[in-house]
């Protein structure tokens, strides 16, 4: 706890430090810790949010999920946390009804889900070549690929051509790849076009599922995709933050937990 009054820049640095460590901050806690008024903290959080350094939410702020650093390719993301993603996939697969039309978004956890789909008749639509490759040898899956230019960082088609082709579909289930996941801030994405594409698929789909590792929970990316209450199912790790799980459940979201390792 500070013993002397802090300068503005010092307060901001300490708040960002806490955000980096905890993923979220609450204004009353910060006010007590930094020995300033809650009004001062709210102004600090507004300043940091305006600078793109956090996501302001009611009562506090969330850590921003920024674009991946060079080297964070789709292939590298697929190899990270493989066991955790496999357990999430096992928990998510029972949500896929036989005979349904499913849109599977790009993402390493979603790739694990696609790979784990059993021998059941499905129509799967995807905008991600890696997802399509995982399904091509499944004889009961009718595969439809949304085309266009591939966005290098996301590994998916998200441009104008892909948006036009979306108008032909009406999925029963959308397995959405999320960058930020929070009960207040909702589901968010790192890139503007990516968020626009995901919003459109969600609007066309009857139900929406997100499967996530814990590191994304309680964070926000720059562009909003979906309000938390618009999510149908959240598939999380067994030790997801209980406050987040309860907050999603209170908004009508079915929260499923993966098995323990």
Q: What is the pLDDT of residues 6-56, one digit of tens each?
A: 778 888 888 988 888 888 889 999 999 998 999 999 999 988 888 778 888
Q: If we measure between CA atoms, which residue out of 49, 57, 59 comes closest to residue 16?
A: 49
Taking the C-alpha atoms of residue 213 and residue 178, their distance in angstroms, rounded to an integer, is 10
The pLDDT, as a whole number, for residue 49 is: 85
The pLDDT, as a whole number, for residue 6 is: 72
The pLDDT, as a whole number, for residue 252 is: 97
Helix, strand and coil content of the chain, in percent to the nearest 5, comes to: 40, 25, 35
The pLDDT, as a whole number, for residue 66 is: 54
Place of tokens 């980096």: 20
Residues 6+ apart with CB under 8 A from 194: 151, 154, 156, 158, 223
Helix, strand or coil, per DSSP, at residue 57: strand
Strands 60-64 and 54-57: antiparallel
Looking at residues 232-261, what average pLDDT do you find? 96
The pLDDT, as a whole number, for residue 188 is: 93
Least confident of 68-72, 213-217, 245-249: 68-72
pTM: 0.78
pLDDT at 3 exceeding the cut of 50: no
Is residue 148 within 8 A of residue 159, CB to CB? The reply is yes
Q: If we measure between CA atoms, which residue out of 133, 137, 142, 177 comes closest to residue 158?
A: 177
The pLDDT, as a whole number, for residue 77 is: 52
Provide the strand spans (E) within the chain: 24-26, 54-57, 60-64, 101-104, 122-126, 141-145, 150-151, 156-157, 173-176, 180-182, 186-189, 207-211, 219-220, 223-226, 233-236, 254-257
Mean pLDDT score across all residues of the chain? 89
Looking at residues 74-87, what average pLDDT do you find? 71
**DSSP track, 176-226:** E--SEEETTTEEEESSHHHHHHHHHHHHH-SEEEEE--GGGBTEE-SEEEE
| pLDDT-derived band at 4, boundaries 50, 70, 90 | low
pLDDT at 74 exceeding the cut of 90: no
Looking at residues 242-261, what average pLDDT do you find? 95
Q: 213 vs 72, which has greater pLDDT?
A: 213
First to last CA, the chain: 38
Is residue 141 within 8 A of residue 176, CB to CB? The reply is no
The pLDDT, as a whole number, for residue 68 is: 46
Share of the chain above pLDDT 90, in %: 62
Query: pLDDT tens across 136-186, in order?
Result: 999 999 999 999 899 888 899 999 999 999 998 999 999 999 999 999 889
β-bridge partners, 37:
none
| pLDDT-derived band at 200, boundaries 50, 70, 90 | very high
């Amino acid at each position: 706890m500070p013993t002397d009054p802090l300068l503005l820049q010092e307060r901001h640095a300490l708040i960002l430090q806490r955000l980096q460590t905890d993923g979220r901050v609450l204004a009353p806690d910060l006010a007590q810790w930094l020995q300033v008024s809650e009004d001062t903290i709210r102004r600090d959080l507004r300043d940091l949010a305006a600078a793109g350094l956090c996501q302001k939410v009611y009562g506090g702020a969330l850590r921003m999920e920024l674009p991946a650093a060079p080297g964070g390719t789709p292939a590298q993301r697929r190899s990270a946390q493989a066991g955790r993603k496999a357990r999430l996939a096992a928990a998510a697969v029972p949500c896929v009804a036989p005979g349904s039309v499913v849109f599977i978004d790009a993402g390493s956890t979603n790739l694990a889900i696609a790979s784990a789909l059993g021998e059941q008749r499905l129509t799967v639509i995807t905008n991600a070549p890696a997802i399509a490759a995982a399904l091509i040898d499944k004889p009961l899956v009718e595969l439809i690929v949304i085309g266009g230019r591939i966005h290098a960082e996301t590994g998916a088609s998200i441009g104008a051509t892909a948006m036009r082709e979306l108008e032909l579909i009406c999925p029963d289930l959308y397995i959405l790849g999320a960058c930020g996941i929070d009960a207040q801030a909702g589901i968010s994405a790192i890139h503007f076009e990516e968020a626009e594409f995901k919003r459109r698929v969600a609007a066309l789909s009857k139900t929406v599922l997100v499967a996530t590792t814990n590191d994304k929970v309680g964070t926000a990316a720059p562009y909003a995709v979906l309000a938390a209450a618009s999510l149908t199912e959240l598939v999380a790790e067994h030790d997801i933050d209980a406050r987040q799980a309860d907050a999603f459940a209170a908004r009508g979201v079915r929260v499923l937990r993966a098995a323990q390792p």
